[in-house]
Amino acid sequence: MAERLSFTKGHGTENDFVLVPDLDGTLGLSSSLAVALADRRTGVGGDGVIRVVPTELVEDAEVRAQARGATWFMDYRNADGSVSEMCGNGTRVFAAFLRREGLETADEFSIATRAGVKHVRRDGEGFAVDLGPWRLGDAESAERDGFDALVHLDGGDPYSALTVDLGNPHTVVALPEQVELDTIDLTAAPAVRPDPPQGTNVELVRPMGPGHVALRVHERGVGETRSCGSGACAAAIATSFWAGSLDTGATWLVDVPGGRLTVRLLPEHGVELAGPAVLVADGVLDPAALREPARA
Protein backbone atom coordinates (compact mmCIF):
# COMPACT_ATOMS: atom_id res chain seq x y z
CA MET A 1 0.00 0.00 0.00
CA ALA A 2 1.19 3.51 -0.73
CA GLU A 3 3.03 5.31 2.08
CA ARG A 4 0.78 8.32 1.54
CA LEU A 5 -2.60 8.46 -0.13
CA SER A 6 -3.99 11.59 -1.79
CA PHE A 7 -7.73 12.16 -1.74
CA THR A 8 -10.42 14.72 -2.54
CA LYS A 9 -13.70 15.11 -0.66
CA GLY A 10 -16.75 16.14 -2.68
CA HIS A 11 -20.52 16.00 -2.68
CA GLY A 12 -23.55 16.31 -4.94
CA THR A 13 -26.58 17.66 -3.03
CA GLU A 14 -24.84 16.42 0.15
CA ASN A 15 -24.41 12.86 -1.11
CA ASP A 16 -20.70 12.77 -0.26
CA PHE A 17 -17.73 10.84 -1.59
CA VAL A 18 -14.03 10.29 -1.08
CA LEU A 19 -12.23 10.41 -4.45
CA VAL A 20 -8.89 8.64 -4.70
CA PRO A 21 -6.78 9.31 -7.81
CA ASP A 22 -5.03 6.22 -9.19
CA LEU A 23 -3.70 7.70 -12.40
CA ASP A 24 -1.20 4.93 -13.12
CA GLY A 25 -3.52 2.08 -12.12
CA THR A 26 -1.26 0.73 -9.36
CA LEU A 27 -3.31 1.52 -6.26
CA GLY A 28 -6.43 -0.60 -6.53
CA LEU A 29 -9.38 -0.14 -4.19
CA SER A 30 -10.08 -3.00 -1.80
CA SER A 31 -13.27 -3.38 0.17
CA SER A 32 -11.41 -2.86 3.46
CA LEU A 33 -9.74 0.34 2.22
CA ALA A 34 -13.08 1.71 1.02
CA VAL A 35 -14.70 0.98 4.39
CA ALA A 36 -11.84 2.64 6.27
CA LEU A 37 -11.88 5.74 4.06
CA ALA A 38 -15.67 6.11 4.25
CA ASP A 39 -15.88 5.83 8.04
CA ARG A 40 -16.89 9.19 9.53
CA ARG A 41 -14.97 8.75 12.78
CA THR A 42 -11.77 6.94 11.87
CA GLY A 43 -11.44 7.86 8.19
CA VAL A 44 -12.32 10.73 5.87
CA GLY A 45 -16.06 10.03 5.81
CA GLY A 46 -18.46 9.58 2.91
CA ASP A 47 -21.42 7.71 1.49
CA GLY A 48 -19.05 6.10 -0.98
CA VAL A 49 -15.50 5.95 -2.31
CA ILE A 50 -14.54 6.58 -5.94
CA ARG A 51 -11.23 5.52 -7.48
CA VAL A 52 -10.22 7.65 -10.49
CA VAL A 53 -8.36 5.33 -12.86
CA PRO A 54 -7.67 5.14 -16.62
CA THR A 55 -10.21 2.82 -18.19
CA GLU A 56 -7.53 1.06 -20.25
CA LEU A 57 -5.75 -0.02 -17.06
CA VAL A 58 -8.76 -1.69 -15.39
CA GLU A 59 -8.54 -5.47 -14.94
CA ASP A 60 -12.22 -6.10 -15.75
CA ALA A 61 -12.36 -6.78 -19.50
CA GLU A 62 -15.94 -5.49 -19.87
CA VAL A 63 -15.00 -2.18 -18.28
CA ARG A 64 -11.70 -1.99 -20.17
CA ALA A 65 -13.62 -2.31 -23.45
CA GLN A 66 -15.19 1.07 -22.71
CA ALA A 67 -11.79 2.77 -23.10
CA ARG A 68 -12.57 3.43 -26.76
CA GLY A 69 -15.25 5.92 -25.70
CA ALA A 70 -14.33 6.89 -22.14
CA THR A 71 -10.81 7.64 -20.93
CA TRP A 72 -11.57 7.50 -17.19
CA PHE A 73 -13.32 4.81 -15.13
CA MET A 74 -15.38 5.62 -12.03
CA ASP A 75 -14.55 2.71 -9.74
CA TYR A 76 -17.28 3.07 -7.11
CA ARG A 77 -17.76 1.35 -3.77
CA ASN A 78 -20.46 1.91 -1.19
CA ALA A 79 -19.56 2.87 2.37
CA ASP A 80 -19.75 -0.79 3.44
CA GLY A 81 -17.13 -1.71 0.83
CA SER A 82 -19.54 -3.38 -1.57
CA VAL A 83 -19.09 -2.74 -5.29
CA SER A 84 -21.80 -0.70 -7.02
CA GLU A 85 -22.54 -0.41 -10.72
CA MET A 86 -22.50 3.39 -10.62
CA CYS A 87 -23.82 6.39 -8.69
CA GLY A 88 -25.77 9.27 -10.23
CA ASN A 89 -24.54 11.99 -7.90
CA GLY A 90 -21.09 10.41 -7.94
CA THR A 91 -20.86 10.76 -11.73
CA ARG A 92 -21.17 14.55 -11.41
CA VAL A 93 -18.59 14.78 -8.63
CA PHE A 94 -16.30 12.50 -10.65
CA ALA A 95 -16.77 14.81 -13.65
CA ALA A 96 -16.00 17.89 -11.55
CA PHE A 97 -12.75 16.28 -10.39
CA LEU A 98 -11.71 15.36 -13.95
CA ARG A 99 -12.35 18.94 -15.12
CA ARG A 100 -10.55 20.58 -12.20
CA GLU A 101 -7.49 18.38 -12.63
CA GLY A 102 -7.37 18.95 -16.40
CA LEU A 103 -7.94 15.24 -17.05
CA GLU A 104 -10.91 16.28 -19.19
CA THR A 105 -11.07 19.73 -20.76
CA ALA A 106 -14.13 19.62 -23.02
CA ASP A 107 -17.59 20.75 -21.93
CA GLU A 108 -18.91 17.34 -22.95
CA PHE A 109 -17.17 14.01 -22.38
CA SER A 110 -17.86 10.41 -21.34
CA ILE A 111 -16.93 8.34 -18.31
CA ALA A 112 -16.82 4.59 -17.87
CA THR A 113 -18.83 2.83 -15.16
CA ARG A 114 -19.81 -0.76 -14.38
CA ALA A 115 -23.20 0.17 -15.84
CA GLY A 116 -21.67 1.28 -19.13
CA VAL A 117 -20.48 4.58 -20.59
CA LYS A 118 -22.19 7.71 -19.23
CA HIS A 119 -22.17 10.97 -21.16
CA VAL A 120 -21.56 14.17 -19.20
CA ARG A 121 -22.01 17.83 -20.11
CA ARG A 122 -21.47 21.09 -18.26
CA ASP A 123 -24.78 22.51 -17.03
CA GLY A 124 -24.56 25.92 -15.35
CA GLU A 125 -22.60 25.55 -12.12
CA GLY A 126 -22.93 21.77 -12.21
CA PHE A 127 -23.19 18.89 -14.63
CA ALA A 128 -25.86 16.91 -16.44
CA VAL A 129 -25.33 13.18 -16.96
CA ASP A 130 -27.14 10.93 -19.40
CA LEU A 131 -27.60 7.83 -17.27
CA GLY A 132 -28.63 5.79 -20.29
CA PRO A 133 -31.63 3.52 -20.75
CA TRP A 134 -33.76 2.35 -17.87
CA ARG A 135 -36.17 -0.55 -17.59
CA LEU A 136 -38.89 -1.72 -15.25
CA GLY A 137 -37.95 -4.67 -13.09
CA ASP A 138 -41.07 -6.70 -13.94
CA ALA A 139 -42.66 -4.98 -16.92
CA GLU A 140 -45.57 -7.44 -17.15
CA SER A 141 -46.65 -6.91 -13.53
CA ALA A 142 -46.04 -3.18 -13.76
CA GLU A 143 -48.18 -2.82 -16.89
CA ARG A 144 -50.95 -4.94 -15.37
CA ASP A 145 -51.01 -3.64 -11.78
CA GLY A 146 -48.92 -0.46 -11.80
CA PHE A 147 -46.62 -2.10 -9.23
CA ASP A 148 -44.35 -5.15 -9.00
CA ALA A 149 -43.05 -5.17 -5.41
CA LEU A 150 -44.02 -4.67 -1.78
CA VAL A 151 -42.04 -2.62 0.74
CA HIS A 152 -42.42 -2.86 4.53
CA LEU A 153 -41.61 0.34 6.46
CA ASP A 154 -41.38 0.55 10.26
CA GLY A 155 -42.66 -3.02 10.50
CA GLY A 156 -46.16 -1.99 9.40
CA ASP A 157 -48.36 -3.04 6.50
CA PRO A 158 -46.59 -3.18 3.13
CA TYR A 159 -46.76 -0.45 0.50
CA SER A 160 -46.96 -1.17 -3.21
CA ALA A 161 -43.81 -0.24 -5.11
CA LEU A 162 -42.29 -0.22 -8.58
CA THR A 163 -38.79 -1.48 -9.37
CA VAL A 164 -36.71 0.53 -11.83
CA ASP A 165 -33.31 -0.57 -13.14
CA LEU A 166 -30.93 2.25 -14.10
CA GLY A 167 -27.89 0.04 -14.22
CA ASN A 168 -28.28 -0.09 -10.45
CA PRO A 169 -31.50 -1.28 -8.75
CA HIS A 170 -34.25 0.91 -7.29
CA THR A 171 -37.59 0.25 -5.63
CA VAL A 172 -39.90 3.28 -5.58
CA VAL A 173 -42.74 3.70 -3.09
CA ALA A 174 -45.51 6.25 -3.63
CA LEU A 175 -46.55 7.17 -0.11
CA PRO A 176 -50.27 7.53 0.66
CA GLU A 177 -51.40 11.08 1.42
CA GLN A 178 -51.90 10.33 5.12
CA VAL A 179 -48.24 9.26 5.59
CA GLU A 180 -45.78 12.09 6.21
CA LEU A 181 -42.49 11.70 4.39
CA ASP A 182 -40.35 13.04 7.24
CA THR A 183 -41.86 10.79 9.94
CA ILE A 184 -40.69 7.44 8.53
CA ASP A 185 -37.81 5.68 10.28
CA LEU A 186 -35.16 4.70 7.73
CA THR A 187 -32.57 3.63 10.27
CA ALA A 188 -32.85 0.07 9.04
CA ALA A 189 -33.22 -1.06 5.46
CA PRO A 190 -36.87 -1.46 4.42
CA ALA A 191 -37.90 -5.05 3.72
CA VAL A 192 -38.60 -5.54 0.01
CA ARG A 193 -40.56 -8.44 -1.48
CA PRO A 194 -39.66 -10.18 -3.67
CA ASP A 195 -36.24 -10.00 -2.06
CA PRO A 196 -33.75 -8.48 -4.56
CA PRO A 197 -30.73 -10.82 -4.78
CA GLN A 198 -28.24 -7.95 -5.10
CA GLY A 199 -30.11 -5.59 -2.78
CA THR A 200 -31.86 -2.41 -3.83
CA ASN A 201 -32.08 1.30 -3.12
CA VAL A 202 -35.51 2.22 -1.75
CA GLU A 203 -37.06 5.59 -2.64
CA LEU A 204 -39.99 7.11 -0.74
CA VAL A 205 -41.77 9.63 -2.93
CA ARG A 206 -44.24 12.40 -2.13
CA PRO A 207 -45.82 14.32 -5.06
CA MET A 208 -45.47 18.09 -4.55
CA GLY A 209 -47.20 19.32 -7.71
CA PRO A 210 -46.98 18.90 -11.48
CA GLY A 211 -43.47 17.77 -12.39
CA HIS A 212 -42.31 18.06 -8.79
CA VAL A 213 -41.69 15.40 -6.10
CA ALA A 214 -39.95 15.15 -2.75
CA LEU A 215 -37.78 12.15 -1.97
CA ARG A 216 -36.08 10.25 0.81
CA VAL A 217 -33.90 7.25 0.07
CA HIS A 218 -32.28 4.30 1.81
CA GLU A 219 -29.25 3.26 -0.23
CA ARG A 220 -28.05 -0.33 -0.22
CA GLY A 221 -24.68 -0.66 1.45
CA VAL A 222 -24.94 2.82 3.01
CA GLY A 223 -28.23 3.58 4.79
CA GLU A 224 -30.27 6.76 4.46
CA THR A 225 -28.39 9.41 2.49
CA ARG A 226 -29.03 13.10 1.94
CA SER A 227 -29.48 12.51 -1.78
CA CYS A 228 -29.41 9.82 -4.46
CA GLY A 229 -29.09 10.89 -8.08
CA SER A 230 -30.13 7.66 -9.77
CA GLY A 231 -32.85 7.38 -7.10
CA ALA A 232 -34.17 10.80 -8.13
CA CYS A 233 -34.34 9.53 -11.72
CA ALA A 234 -36.12 6.35 -10.60
CA ALA A 235 -38.63 8.43 -8.64
CA ALA A 236 -39.37 10.65 -11.65
CA ILE A 237 -39.70 7.64 -13.94
CA ALA A 238 -42.02 5.78 -11.57
CA THR A 239 -44.19 8.86 -10.96
CA SER A 240 -44.42 9.46 -14.71
CA PHE A 241 -45.32 5.81 -15.26
CA TRP A 242 -48.10 5.94 -12.67
CA ALA A 243 -49.42 9.11 -14.30
CA GLY A 244 -49.41 7.39 -17.70
CA SER A 245 -47.20 10.06 -19.27
CA LEU A 246 -43.62 8.96 -19.95
CA ASP A 247 -43.22 11.85 -22.37
CA THR A 248 -39.82 12.51 -23.91
CA GLY A 249 -38.57 15.91 -22.77
CA ALA A 250 -40.63 15.97 -19.59
CA THR A 251 -38.68 17.61 -16.76
CA TRP A 252 -39.02 16.85 -13.05
CA LEU A 253 -37.79 18.74 -10.03
CA VAL A 254 -36.79 16.35 -7.26
CA ASP A 255 -36.30 17.74 -3.76
CA VAL A 256 -34.01 15.69 -1.52
CA PRO A 257 -32.83 16.51 2.01
CA GLY A 258 -29.56 17.81 0.54
CA GLY A 259 -31.00 20.08 -2.13
CA ARG A 260 -32.70 19.87 -5.53
CA LEU A 261 -32.02 17.80 -8.63
CA THR A 262 -33.47 18.04 -12.13
CA VAL A 263 -34.45 14.96 -14.11
CA ARG A 264 -35.29 14.99 -17.81
CA LEU A 265 -36.81 12.06 -19.69
CA LEU A 266 -35.00 11.28 -22.94
CA PRO A 267 -36.00 9.27 -26.03
CA GLU A 268 -35.92 5.47 -25.97
CA HIS A 269 -36.23 5.18 -22.19
CA GLY A 270 -33.25 7.41 -21.52
CA VAL A 271 -32.95 9.77 -18.56
CA GLU A 272 -30.71 12.72 -17.71
CA LEU A 273 -29.77 13.87 -14.22
CA ALA A 274 -28.61 17.45 -13.58
CA GLY A 275 -27.42 19.13 -10.41
CA PRO A 276 -24.47 20.62 -8.54
CA ALA A 277 -21.11 19.02 -7.87
CA VAL A 278 -18.85 20.47 -5.19
CA LEU A 279 -15.23 19.61 -4.36
CA VAL A 280 -14.69 20.78 -0.80
CA ALA A 281 -11.25 19.54 0.30
CA ASP A 282 -8.02 17.88 -0.76
CA GLY A 283 -5.70 16.01 1.52
CA VAL A 284 -3.02 13.39 2.05
CA LEU A 285 -3.38 10.60 4.60
CA ASP A 286 -1.39 7.71 5.99
CA PRO A 287 -3.16 4.46 5.03
CA ALA A 288 -1.48 2.69 7.94
CA ALA A 289 -3.35 4.98 10.33
CA LEU A 290 -6.72 3.92 8.92
CA ARG A 291 -8.58 1.08 10.52
CA GLU A 292 -11.76 -0.68 9.58
CA PRO A 293 -14.37 0.38 12.14
CA ALA A 294 -15.72 -2.21 14.52
CA ARG A 295 -19.12 -3.62 13.61
CA ALA A 296 -21.99 -3.48 16.10
Given the residues 44, 115, 173, 228, the one annotated as active site: 228
**Residue 87: CB partners within 8 Å, gap ≥ 6?**
15, 17, 48, 50, 74, 76, 168, 229, 230
Given the residues 44, 87, 213, 232, the one annotated as active site: 87
233: annotated active-site residue: no
In the DSSP assignment, the letter for residue 292 is P
Peptide bond into 194 cis (omega under 30): yes
**Residue 167: CB partners within 8 Å, gap ≥ 6?**
85, 86, 113, 114, 115, 116, 131, 132, 230
C-alpha span between 98 and 162 (Å, rounded): 35
User: Across-strand partners of 93?
Assistant: none
Sequential DSSP letters for 41-85? TTSS--SEEEEEEEGGG-S-HHHHGGGGT-SEEEEEEETTS-B-S
Instruction: Return the active site residues.
Output: 87, 228
